[in-house]
Chain A
Amino acid sequence: MKRTAIKRKEKYQELDGVLEKYKGRKGVLIKALSEAQEMYGFLSREVLIHIACELDVPLSEVTSVVSFYSLFKTEPSGRCHIEICSGTACYVKGMQDLLETLEEEINIKPGEVTGDGRFGLSTVNCVGACSAAPVVKIGDELIGDVDSKRLKQLLGKYGHD
């Protein structure tokens, strides 16, 4: 075995524990990917190569699946992830203002992570809470009727790790 492969093996011992139960089985790729994402927060190239090699699935297949489902992330997200709903109702009720606020306050655009790694930001297509528009999801918490002022308060609240 090549030295790099050995190093990779050591590094991903924990992941291998998960992959072990999927080896040689069909239709398990999505499950394996979800578990890996839970473990590392996102799916790096290295992790995907490791999964491809261990499960004997072409990397093209792996990245095809990853790029198809929006639930998979290939970039590190901030320690605290903010999602702003961009569904029609939220759009009408001013989600654009919220994006502007975030840009002014913590200098971040959708798809980015703040320099200190504290916040990550993305938009999401309708979370299904239109009556409370505009809706923001921070971490696991769904918060409705958010305006710029409220958002700044929330940044303060979630600002310390």
Chain B
Amino acid sequence: MINLTIDRQQVSVEKGTPVLEAARKIGIDIPTLCYLKDLNAPAACRVCIVQVEGRPAFEASCVLPAEEGMVVHTNTPAVLAARKQVLELFLSDHPFECLTCERNLNCELQRLAKRYGIRDLPVEGERNHYPIDHVSPSVVREPDKCIRCRRCVSVCENYISANIYRMMDRSFQAVVGPAYNGSLMESPCIYCGQCITVCPTSALREQDSTARVFEALANPELHVVVQTAPSIRSSIAEEFGLPVGTPVEGQMVAALRRLGFDRVFDDCVAADICVIEEATEFMERLKKGGPFPQFTSCCPSWVLFCEKFYPQFVANLSEVKSPQQIFGALVKTYYAKRAGIDPAKIFVVSVMPCVSKKYELLRPEMKASGCQDIDAEISTREFVRMLFQAGLDIRKLPREEFDSPLGSASGAGVIFGSTGGVLEATLRTVYEWAGEKPLKRLEFEEVRSLEYKEAVIHAGPHELRVAVARGTGAARRLMDQVLAGKKRYHFVEVMACPGGCVGGGGQPIYIETNDWNEQVSHRTRRAGGLYQLDREREYRKAHENPVILKLYEEYLGRPGGPRAHKLFHSGHVSRKLYADEPLLKKERDLVRR
């Protein structure tokens, strides 16, 4: 242990602990902007400076290892003045749009400006101006609001492994962006949105679709149907001051009805279908002998990652579409017919924890019903904004039930929202189809060095090796192992985001903590709500859900059959990593609102 003095208090910490963490231990909160513990510590922003006795200059406490006998002052008038100056410099090159900014009252820079009582800016400096990148369907980038903290660089490099961002140019012009400071559309971005959730400002944000949804709701010609992804029911609670992960399924349904949706359906039903189709595909592969591993395909970011970075595995991706798309296809065919409504008059909205689904719904193959299967997607954040605008408070609403027929899902469909959930849900079905007794909770072993988990299960005559990769970075390591012949798997689940959909790029922002692992466990706490709902369900296996059985009997035919194939299956393609030509400026301006 190392003993040091911070603001006249003694503190002992383990060797290697930064002074910032040591201070935190005794209740002193040194401000930060770039630091995200265990993910990003480039010492770029310098708001965390402190004074160490005997040292000539102030030092950045986030990267300063505690030393024996060190005497640190974190709040002398000189330190506070210097910190204030750092903030003033940031603000002098920042657009003053707080009132109209998406991150108003949820921005780390704004919070620090308040905390340090910045009242005016003595320095009126030159400002950088860059075009806004509005081109990608999912992520908007506004470099003028970038404070060069490089968190996006770290998360995209270390966790997602797409390496989109780097520092471009130098000195005052320096900016964090994709190659050539161009559009994300020209880069191999997989639209996971993880960079959005770590950005301290609104330099990165989602494409906002709330206006389109309000418009549709106001249009009397349209029959507006909504589906909610598994994880939404446990992730909106925190935005209303409830404990993280509180399941509020019924209240969420009530809120959607009050927003004016004509039908409120559950995406988990589509997840159930996804399980059955994927399990059928897997049984066929078992019969044919491959190709293995079968990779799940319900995360569009992961699918894009595979198509771009590992095209050699494209044939391994399951052909089954994601629940969002399965649902859209079903509503505009089965439901339209049953309800006697022209599918062209149905507007399907999905509420998802995700920004990638905005991209997915535009993929050309997502027109199984003859028109675009999903019309608009809103992320959890956008959904919450709509509720705020409409004055709907989850805490004060009654519990209501989803509409039928696409409203009652099994527990398998619900746990889709959590890492490992898709695999578990599918195995519950595969296991019994292979002639076994019901599957108990899966026990996984961590492959720690490579940061994913694997298990071996015996289903009938088969010894199945399965794995779950959390994050495309882990998937990259897993695929490299498979390519090198060091590992063999039959079935692998990959989700791009930490914790699965509960940690999706469209979920509420984690502004209260600058500790990456703490952020990840925040996501996992949301999953708690889903497993609770799973336990409470009458049916926990997709293939036992009577709604699903009836759907197959009445309309779909057999799993993997011609109709199911037409509606729910699609191929995947290998894609180029980089656009040959930059998107023309003209085109970019056109897309800009």
Contact = CB atoms under 8 A, between A and B. Distances in A.
A and B co-occur in one complex = yes
A49 B578 contact: yes
Interface in A12-67: 45-46, 48-49, 52-53, 58-64, 67
Contact of B179 (A2, A4, A63): A63
B187 interface: yes
Nearest to A50: B578
Nearest to B575: A2
B574 to A, nearest CB: 7
Interface in B148-164: 163-164
Nearest to B162: A58
A63 B580 CA distance: 14
Given A49-B578, A49-B580, A60 B169 contact: no
A60 B165 contact: yes
B168 A64 contact: yes
A58 B166 contact: yes
B176 to A, nearest CB: 10
19 contacts: A2-B576, A45-B581, A49-B578, A53-B577, A58-B164, A59-B577, A60-B163, A60-B165, A60-B166, A60-B179, A60-B187, A63-B168, A63-B179, A63-B180, A64-B166, A64-B167, A64-B179, A68-B169, A68-B170
B175 to A, nearest CB: 10
Contact of A45 (B165, B576, B582): B582
Contacts of A48: 179
A116 B179 CA distance: 30
Interface in A82-134: none
Which interface residue of B164, B166, B168, B178 has the most chain A CB atoms within 10 A? Answer: B166
A59 B576 contact: no
A58 to B, nearest CB: 4
A4 B580 contact: yes
A63 B176 CA distance: 12
B170 A62 contact: no
Contacts of A45: 180, 580-582
A63 to B, nearest CB: 4
A64 B576 CA distance: 21
Nearest to B178: A60
A126 to B, nearest CB: 16
What interface size band does chain A fall in? 10 to 19
B189 to A, nearest CB: 10
Contacts of B178: 60
A97 B462 CA distance: 84
A67 B167 CA distance: 9
A45 B180 CA distance: 9
Interface residues of B, number: 19
Contacts of B170: 67-68
A45 B163 CA distance: 18
A59 B168 contact: no
A58 B576 contact: no
A4 B163 contact: no
A59 B170 CA distance: 17
Nearest to A69: B170
Contacts of B165: 60
A52 B166 contact: no
B262 to A, nearest CB: 45
Contacts of B179: 48, 58-60, 62-64
Nearest to B577: A53
B182 to A, nearest CB: 9
Given A59-B179, A59-B187, A60-B178, A67 B168 contact: yes
Contacts of A59: 179, 187, 577-578
Interface string B559-593: 00000000000000010111011100000000000
Which interface residue of A2, A52, A62, A64 has the most chain B CB atoms within 10 A? Answer: A64
Given A53-B577, A60-B163, 18 more contacts: A2-B576, A4-B576, A45-B581, A46-B580, A49-B578, A52-B577, A59-B179, A59-B187, A59-B578, A60-B166, A60-B179, A61-B163, A62-B179, A63-B166, A63-B180, A64-B167, A64-B168, A67-B169
Contacts of A67: 168-170
Interface in B531-585: 574, 576-578, 580-582
Nearest to B164: A60
6 A-B pairs closest in CB distance: A58-B163, A64-B166, A60-B166, A59-B179, A63-B179, A60-B179
Nearest to A48: B179
Contacts of A49: 577-578, 580
A50 to B, nearest CB: 10
Nearest to B175: A67
A67 B176 CA distance: 12
B251 to A, nearest CB: 43
Interface in A121-158: none
Interface in B186-209: 187
Contacts of A60: 163-166, 178-179, 187
A59 B183 CA distance: 13
Nearest to B581: A45
Contacts of B187: 59-60
A48 B166 CA distance: 15
Contacts of B166: 58, 60-61, 63-64
